[in-house]
Each structure stands twice: as C-alpha cells, then as structure tokens.
Amino acid sequence: MNSLAMSSLSIAWALAAAQTLIFIAAAPLLAGWVKRLKCHLQNRAAPTVWQPYRDLAKLMRKDMVLAENASWLFRATPYIVFGATGLAAAAVPLIVVHLPTAAIADLIVLVGFFALARFFTALAALDIGTAFGGMGASREMTVAALAEPAMLMVVFTLSMTAGTTNLSTATETVLQAGVVLRPSFLFALFALAMVAVAECGRIPVDNPATHLELTMLHEAMILEYGGRHLALIEWASQIKLMIYAVLIVDFFFPWGIARDFDAVSLAVGVGAVTAKVMLLAMLLAAWESVLAKMRLFRAPQFLGFAFLLALLGMLTSIVLETGS
C-alpha cells in the first residue's frame, strides 16, 4: 500500500517535471504562432512558427559582449529571471489538474515570481548607466505598480468563488461547477486579460517589436543584453505570455483538462489546452492589430479601468453570489 502510494507520488512528480518542460518548450511556439497570425492580419510575409526556436538557438551560440561597467548583477539577472518564470510555469496546471508542484506556489506567489523577475530586470537596466535603461526601468515599474491592484482584485474575485488561491484546487472547483455563467467571472476575465496585456508588454501598453526610445518599456530594459543572456530573457518573456494565457484558460474555460493520469485523459488535455491557447492567441493577434500603442500616461487610465472591472467583479460576487 505504501509502495503504491509512493509510486503514484513519484509518477505525479515525474509528470509535473515533464509538464514543466513541455510548458517551457512550447512557449516559443506560442510566440511564433502569435507573430504569424499578426503578420497575416497585417498583410505581411510571415515567418514560420518555428522561427523563435531558431532565434533562441542562434542567440545561445553567439559570443557575448558585455558593457565595460557591467557588474555581477547584470550577469546573474537572466538566470534569476528565467528561474523565477520557469518556477511559475511549474506551478500552473497545463495538461493535468492535480500536480504536486501546484502546491509550491499559489496565485499570489506567482505574482511574486513575476515581481522578482521584474525587479532584477529593472536593476540590470540601471546597471549599465545609459539613459535607455533608466527610462525602461522607470516606466516598467510605474506600469507594474498600477497593474498590481487590478491583479489582486482579480485574485480576490476568483478566490471568493473558488474558496482558494491554489491553482489546482481553483481549476478543479470551476471544473466541478460545470458550465455556469457568473457575472463576477465575466468581469474578472476582462480584467485579467487587460492586466495580462500590461504585464506581458503587449499593445496597447508596450510594443514588443519596437526599439525606438519613445515607445519601449520592456525592450529598453534589456537593450544591453546579447547572446545567451538575451536568449534566456526572451524565452522568459515568452513563458510569461504563455503562463497568463494558460491562467485565463484554467480559471475561465478549464473543460478538457486531464483529471487522471491515464493516456486518454492526457491526450485530451493536451489537445484541449492547445486548441484554447491557439484561440486566445488569435484574439490577441486581432487585438494587437486593431489597437495602437497608447502614450505612457494613458496607461494609468487603462489599468484603472482594469481595476474597476475587477472591483465590479468582486462586488458582484459579494452581492449576487453569496452562499455559492
């Protein structure tokens, strides 16, 4: 009995490790898919979906050039950023709902991981002492500070219904409730989508494809990075986008995710999450093609609106859905 429990525990941990590796490996594919869709929507010649892998491989092979006054902090930051983001990926249920790694971090710890990555990226930006770094760091910290209350209010709305912030348990609760329309969840969905756009540096808050100083936020912070450092940081930002996409899928449309460890459930889980994330990517590509990047001081209004939506979701949950 004990050995059976032990073996099922070790199977769970092995699956968790495998899921994390799949998550990390699939993130560039999502980025490639979004880029391809955007190009098609904007009538441009699209690269293949495998292009981000080729870019990462090229960057890993390249020689590295560092600025003269780059300190040990500059060199350590890519590893810290990748580690924190990878650990966040380990805690999010991708294919299977119940995995032991989801107990390492709940939703608030996830936000903490992103905050850790952002903290060190901003420090690395200030390390070289150029104006670009300072600009990127200053803007990024302002936008992030404004996004935090909205994110936390979304967490509140979700935990009021699910009764927990543990990602596995929350997904399971939403699964078990069936297809139910909750107004609070609707508000929370839009708020989370807006926060995700701000945190991942997508249009309209930031332009991921630009290198002009007036328009950069995230890119300005990593301007001095090259070679394997840049590969790790780019990969980490792709993983972050995928994490937010999978979070939206898990909380609001979790049907199809595997609840057992047998082959059929796993296959269905993989297919379901792939289809849903691809659909979200289409929405993101359409959104980015329709909107233009806002000027920096419109971002507080954008994020204030997200906070308002989340607040409405929380109030709706208290007033309409008490007792559920």
d(CA 144, CA 127): 20
Shortest spacing between CB 14 and another protein, in angstroms? 16
Please say which residue, 99 or 272, places its beta carbon nearer to another protein: 99
> Contacting another protein (CB under 8 A), which of 12, 18, 46, 152?
152
Chosen residue from 11, 58, 129, 320 binding another protein by CB under 8 A:
129
DSSP H or E segment with residue 97: none
Q: Does 122 bind another protein (CB under 8 A)?
A: yes
CB of 13 to another protein, least distance (A): 12
Q: Which stretch in 156-164, 177-185, 238-246, 258-266 sits in contact with another protein by CB under 8 A?
A: 156-164
**Residue 116 in contact with another protein, rule: CB under 8 A:** yes
Q: What is the x/- site pattern for another protein, positions 56-95, by CB under 8 A?
A: ----x--xxxxxxxxxxx--x-xxx-xxx-xx--x-----
Cβ–Cβ < 8 Å for 299, 140 = no
| 196 touches 248 (CB < 8 A) | yes
Number of residues that bind another protein (CB under 8 A): 86
Reduce the DSSP state of residue 29 to 3 states and report it. Answer: helix
Give, as ranges, the residues between 263 and 322 that touch another protein (CB under 8 A).
Answer: 296-297, 300, 307, 311, 314-315, 318-319
To another protein, the closest distance from the beta carbon of 270 in angstroms equals 24
Report d(CA 307, CA 153) in Å as an integer.
7
User: Does 183 help bind another protein (rule: CB under 8 A)?
Assistant: no
CB atoms within 10 A of CB 283: 13
d(C-alpha 3, C-alpha 117), whole Å: 39
φ, ψ (nearest 5 deg) of residue 208: -75, -10
Handedness of CA 26, 194, 86, 213 (dihedral sign): positive
Rule CB under 8 A: say whether 232 interacts with another protein: yes
**Total Cβ atoms within 10 A of residue 64:** 12
Q: Using CB under 8 A, which of the segments 3-11, 106-114, 182-190, 201-209 binds another protein?
A: 106-114
Tokens of 179: 């297809």
Check whether the bond before 204 is cis (ω within 30° of 0).
Answer: yes
Provide, rounded to whole angstroms, the least separation between the CB of residue 66 and another protein. Answer: 5
Q: Residue 20 CB, nearest distance to another protein (Å)?
A: 10
**Shortest CB 166 distance to another protein, Å:** 6
